[in-house]
Amino acid sequence: MSEQAPRLRLAGISKHFGPVQANNDISLEVAAGEIHCLLGENGAGKSTLMNILYGLVRPDAGGIFLDGRSVAIHSPHQAIELGIGMVHQHFMLVPTLTVAENVILATRPLLSLRRLRESVMWDRRAIERQVGDVVQRYGLKIDPRARVASLSVGEQQRVEIVKALYRGVNLLILDEPTAVLTPQETTDLFKTLRSFAASGLSIILITHKLHEVMAISDRVTVLRDGRVVGRRATRETDMHELAGLMVGRDVHLTVEKTRARPGAPALVIDRLTVVGDDDRRLLDNLSLQVAAGEILGVAGVDGNGQRELALAITGVLRPTSGDIVANEQSLIGRTPRQIADAGVRHIPEDRQQMGLILEFPVADNFVLKTFDRAPYTVRGLLQPSAITAYAQTLIERFDVRTPSPALPVANLSGGNQQKVVLGRELDSQPRVLVAAQPTRGLDVGATEYVHKALLAQRDAGGAILLISTELEEVLALSDRIVVLYEGRIVGEVSGDRANAQQIGLMMAGVQIAAQAAEHGAGVHQ
């Protein structure tokens, strides 16, 4: 093999956003036909780097070389012209359009007299055939005429890939592609990627999942705090070394945890069913119990009913049938306020959309569920001093970093914002806590804090329902684990005896028959 310039070479890429240095002197190389993983935690700089490569962001310094040639990429349009394609984590698909329409979007001139025929799509069928050819050639199995909104998540991702292939890429970037896939779909995806690589396509995979790096990549570059901290050939390293590089210190892959001492059932869910708009059963006869002093982890791929479960318990969503009982009272039909007062609290999966009013001061966010009663309201008027005093105590107890309780909570970092939510929800020592994706988007320090707080709550006798798509988190914290798949519980294991592979199978719908029967799920496979 002759000395060939690599398909891609990044040299000294740097980029800052305000005071934050997102990328700091990053260099890496990817050869033709290579699958290269870009590994790092949330906030390590992976997305910024790829956005630079795709022309969405301009670097402050550094060069990009494709097949030895120096290029400047100022827009996605240019990136596409240069043969770079990107499959985004949050799909860039228009749901109301068909697959074919999404694929051909912007591939022909919009307004051109010379190329009028191409601008007009008179022959829909010819276009659909064209797209169908590409789909066939790469074995991706989707119907070009289908509306994207009607496709499954895995299928939609394949449409994203077809978009890139249709334009003729030689470098394909995938951003956290498996975040929304079942293990089976992930296997299919990896098979597809390997065949692409075999035909000469270069692939960059952005991920924070160690086992995927080991499974699919040829080489891996590890980013931390915007810098490259390690480059390895995959077969010459292992998960432990990569984890250490990723985090920067010796990682305890499990967290310090005392034995659980579960008491009486504090939360009982009985045959809960939620039917959605299109008659889809989002929750299907789901039953589970959480005892006081216990953390029950609900594992599963995002989109299998987690959101509905949390919203039904906290009263925002009205279930179609079934019962939810907490502390011997039924929660069905109660308002969110009544449920919160009954001692059932909620850490929502999206703190900025559901948990906080960003424009309100920190103090007001603390009293978001209690503002209309004493001592925060007396004789019909709000009492700012009482609210501020309360806020101060919570700020201290929960270590919220803010110069003042009057500051709009939008100014706080993600971790501190989550602490505000935690403070508000935990201060009343709730008997039941529903924690949904509690560490999403948080850095390591904040994540540790949240985990400690949850364990403390458990040790004090609280019942915690932990809903998380991060399997490591579920494994680390839970005393018992159930798996949610298509709205049903498909298996249960005890925390000590759980292993990721077994749970992964259940996440994909493979049932452990015995336990499943207890949870009311039908026969499935």
Judged by beta carbon, residue 293 or residue 315, the one nearer another protein is 315
Judged by beta carbon, residue 230 or residue 441, the one nearer another protein is 441
Using CA atoms, how far residue 36 sits from 184, 211, 272, 297, in Å, is: 21, 14, 44, 33
The single residue among 4, 70, 119, 321 that binds another protein, judged by CB under 8 A, is 119
Residue 171 tokens read as 């470098």
Q: Which of 123-128's residues contact partners 24+ apart within 8 Å by CB, and which partners?
A: 124/100, 127/100, 128/98, 128/100
**253 is a site residue for another protein (CB under 8 A):** no
The single residue among 61, 72, 121, 215 that binds another protein, judged by CB under 8 A, is 121
Stretch that binds another protein, among 62-70, 365-373, 454-462, 517-525 (CB under 8 A): 365-373
Distance, in Å, from the CA atom of 38 to the CA atom of 406, rounded to the nearest integer, reads 40
Footprint on residues 295-334 left by another protein (CB under 8 A): 314-316
**72 is a site residue for another protein (CB under 8 A):** no
| Amino acid identity at 480 | R
Judged by beta carbon, residue 29 or residue 443, the one nearer another protein is 443
**69 is a site residue for another protein (CB under 8 A):** no
**120 is a site residue for another protein (CB under 8 A):** yes
What's the full length of the chain, in residues? 525
Using CA atoms, how far residue 411 sits from 360, 396, 398, 483, in Å, is: 10, 18, 17, 36
Beta pairing class for 480-485 and 295-299: parallel
CB of 222 to another protein, least distance (A): 16
Nearest to 89 by CA among 127, 146, 141, 47: 47
Stretch that binds another protein, among 188-196, 265-273, 396-404, 499-507 (CB under 8 A): 396-404
| 404 C-beta neighbours (distance < 10 Å), count | 13
The single residue among 37, 47, 73, 262 that binds another protein, judged by CB under 8 A, is 47
**355 is a site residue for another protein (CB under 8 A):** yes
**74 is a site residue for another protein (CB under 8 A):** no
Stretch that binds another protein, among 16-24, 287-295, 487-495, 503-511 (CB under 8 A): 16-24
CB of 181 to another protein, least distance (A): 16
**247 is a site residue for another protein (CB under 8 A):** no
Distance, in Å, from the CA atom of 444 to the CA atom of 449, rounded to the nearest integer, reads 9
The single residue among 8, 36, 48, 162 that binds another protein, judged by CB under 8 A, is 48
> Are the beta carbons of 297 and 495 closer than 8 angstroms?
yes
The single residue among 27, 42, 187, 329 that binds another protein, judged by CB under 8 A, is 42
Footprint on residues 172-211 left by another protein (CB under 8 A): 175-176
**354 is a site residue for another protein (CB under 8 A):** yes
**407 is a site residue for another protein (CB under 8 A):** yes
- Phi first, then psi: give them for residue 277, nearest 5 degrees: -60, -45
The single residue among 129, 371, 452, 513 that binds another protein, judged by CB under 8 A, is 371
3-state secondary structure of 405: coil
The single residue among 282, 356, 395, 493 that binds another protein, judged by CB under 8 A, is 356
What letter does residue 235 receive in the DSSP assignment?
G
Stretch that binds another protein, among 26-34, 61-69, 378-386, 484-492 (CB under 8 A): 378-386
| 422 C-beta neighbours (distance < 10 Å), count | 26
**170 is a site residue for another protein (CB under 8 A):** no
**133 is a site residue for another protein (CB under 8 A):** no
Of the CA atoms within 13 Å of residue 327, those in its CB half-sphere come to 13
Distance, in Å, from the CA atom of 271 to the CA atom of 324, rounded to the nearest integer, reads 9
**76 is a site residue for another protein (CB under 8 A):** yes
> Are the beta carbons of 213 and 37 closer than 8 angstroms?
yes
Judged by beta carbon, residue 14 or residue 184, the one nearer another protein is 14
What letter does residue 329 receive in the DSSP assignment?
E
> Are the beta carbons of 319 and 503 closer than 8 angstroms?
no
The single residue among 4, 70, 74, 118 that binds another protein, judged by CB under 8 A, is 118
Size of the site for another protein (CB under 8 A): 87
In three-state form (DSSP H/G/I as H, E/B as E, the rest C), the secondary structure along 265-324 is EEEEEEEEEEECCCCCEEEEEEEEEEECCCEEEEECCCCCCHHHHHHHHHCCCCCCEEEE
**337 is a site residue for another protein (CB under 8 A):** yes
Judged by beta carbon, residue 233 or residue 406, the one nearer another protein is 406
Judged by beta carbon, residue 285 or residue 365, the one nearer another protein is 365
Stretch that binds another protein, among 4-12, 103-111, 131-139, 292-300 (CB under 8 A): 103-111
> Are the beta carbons of 508 and 485 closer than 8 angstroms?
yes
Residue 349: left (phi > 0), alpha (psi -120 to 50), or beta? Answer: alpha
The single residue among 110, 113, 198, 523 that binds another protein, judged by CB under 8 A, is 110
CB of 255 to another protein, least distance (A): 22
| Paired residues of 281 in beta bridges | 275
Residue 385 tokens read as 């001093």
Sign of CA dihedral 279, 280, 285, 291: negative
**340 is a site residue for another protein (CB under 8 A):** yes
CB of 488 to another protein, least distance (A): 25
Residues 431-450, one symbol each (x = binds another protein by CB under 8 A, - = not), give: ----------xxx-------
Judged by beta carbon, residue 161 or residue 291, the one nearer another protein is 161
Stretch that binds another protein, among 117-125, 261-269, 477-485, 507-515 (CB under 8 A): 117-125
